Amino acid sequence: MDTLKFKLVIAYDGTKYEGWQMQKTGVGVQQKVEEALASIFPSRPQVYSSSRTDTGVHALGMVAHVEIPRAEFKMLPRRLVLALNAWLPEDIRVLSATPCRAGFHARFDAVGKQYRYFVWNQTAMNPLLRHQAWHVPGKLNLAAMRSAAKLFPGKHDFKSFAASRRYEMESTVRTLTRCELTRNGPRLTFLIEGDGFLYRMCRGIVGTLVQVGKGKFAADGIKRMFACRDRRAAGMSAPAQGLVLWKVFYKKAQSEKNSKPKAQSSKLERNFKGQTPSDDSPAARRRLETLRSRR
């Protein structure tokens, strides 16, 4: 089947969802995105993501890919974002949809990810951030937390910081390139970047660092935790609501350099010239309003 492949960048507030993945019970973000696609394309295309997020975890830069039969694609490529968002709930948004090479895979082509975790360190919680940050009211030793954070970058066995799965992992070794802590007033931001992450690994790292800040662990105790390879040796898991999948990194293929994706998008739009009205035409606006009214 002749198809068009698109790379999607998706943002969502994960508060109401059972994570990204389709669920037997509860609703995942993936389900909502695929329902939006099914409302536009009869073949009901599936999306394939770069990663999974847990219940209550958010994303600003989730990447996914989708293949749409060329015969069904009756719009300008740049209209796909508007069309999808017209069918999505307000807590999920497609930020971009760009044509990509046929061999692109959102998961297997990813070379790294960046997560950010937010803590509100003040006596009273900011009610506007109650679903986007972990409330830690007590005083924290930031110097000790930063000293401990410096021990995480590099290649390590992170078994002590990850929750167990129902199956045995082939390897629990991962490489972090960044683990940093910044403060802006009462808000603490943990930036964690690496080539891959174990189940709840980021939350285990942040929970441990916060407990270092509270004096429960010494900063140099991180080395012992790595050596133990036992979840009980490290600190608590931070709650889900403070975690955001910030971005996913890809190595640009040589064939994609020199703005080839932009050229491919322009070529696709030329193919549809004359079949659809321009983005700013009254007919295009009426069609978008029709899509919204069907929700």
Residues that are catalytic: 54
Q: What is the DSSP string of the chain?
A: --EEEEEEEEEE-GGGSS-SS--SSS--HHHHHHHHHHHH-TT---EEES----TT-EEEEEEEEEEEEGGG--S-GGGHHHHHHHHS-TTEEEEEEEE--TT--TTTTEEEEEEEEEEE-SSS--GGGTTTSEE--S---HHHHHHHHTTSSEEEE-GGGSPPPSS--S--EEEEEEEEEEEETTEEEEEEEES---TTHHHHHHHHHHHHHTTSS-TTHHHHHHHHT-GGGS-PPPPGGGEEEEEEEEPPPGGGTTTHHHHHHHHHHHHTBTTB--TTSHHHHHHHHHHHHT-
Q: What is the DSSP string of 198-241?
A: -TTHHHHHHHHHHHHHTTSS-TTHHHHHHHHT-GGGS-PPPPGG
First to last CA, the chain: 30
Phi, psi of 250 (to 5 degrees): -135, 145
- Alpha-carbon distances of 40 from 33, 74, 80, rounded to whole Å: 11, 10, 10
